[in-house]
């Protein structure tokens, strides 16, 4: 697997947290990164309440095979559910399923190995 030397962090893609970039500005940042040869994107299941992953999925679109997307999965998605956070298999599978849905990609078992799940320590 080959990735660019610099990874584009997308935590600021979206304005749901009261700061960050609107969709148009996020796309400009993404396009500038890609034009310079970038192909490694970092996101998380909870960045801007999921908007970051949604934008990333939309921006990569049909060029998905050109990118490596790292998404963090251990962030808490439901404070009332003890299995909605942490590094156990159940949460990882649930979080990756939700991420893939946000990316609007093929089913998990048919995705290329360039989809990564990353541990995000709290």
Give the model's confidence band at 5: pLDDT under 50 very low, under 70 low, under 90 confident, else very high: very high
| Predicted model pTM | 0.75
Three state DSSP letters for the chain: CCCCCCCEECCCECCCCCCCECHHHHHHHHHHHHHCCCCEEEEECCHHHHHHHHHHHHHHHHHHHHCEEEEECCCCCCCCCCCCCCCCHHHHHHHHHHHHHHHCCCCHHHCCCCEEEECCCC
Q: What mean pLDDT comes out for the span 68-90?
A: 87
47 is catalytic: yes
- Annotated catalytic residue within 33, 47, 55, 73: 47
Give the mean pLDDT of the chain.
83
The CATH number given to 8-118 is 3.20.20.100
Q: What mean pLDDT comes out for the span 53-73?
A: 88
Give the model's confidence band at 106: pLDDT under 50 very low, under 70 low, under 90 confident, else very high: very low
């Amino acid at each position: 697997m080959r990735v660019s030397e610099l990874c584009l962090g997308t935590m600021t893609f979206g304005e749901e947290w009261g700061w960050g970039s609107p969709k148009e500005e996020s796309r400009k940042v993404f396009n500038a990164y890609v034009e310079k040869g970038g192909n490694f994107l970092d996101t998380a299941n909870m960045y801007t309440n999921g908007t970051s992953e949604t934008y990333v999925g939309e921006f990569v679109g049909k060029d998905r095979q050109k990118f490596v997307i790292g998404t963090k999965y251990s962030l808490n998605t439901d404070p009332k559910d003890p299995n909605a956070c942490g590094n156990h298999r159940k949460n990882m599978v649930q979080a990756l399923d939700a991420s893939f849905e946000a990316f609007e990609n093929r089913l998990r078992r048919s995705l290329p190995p360039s989809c990564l799940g990353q541990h995000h320590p709290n």
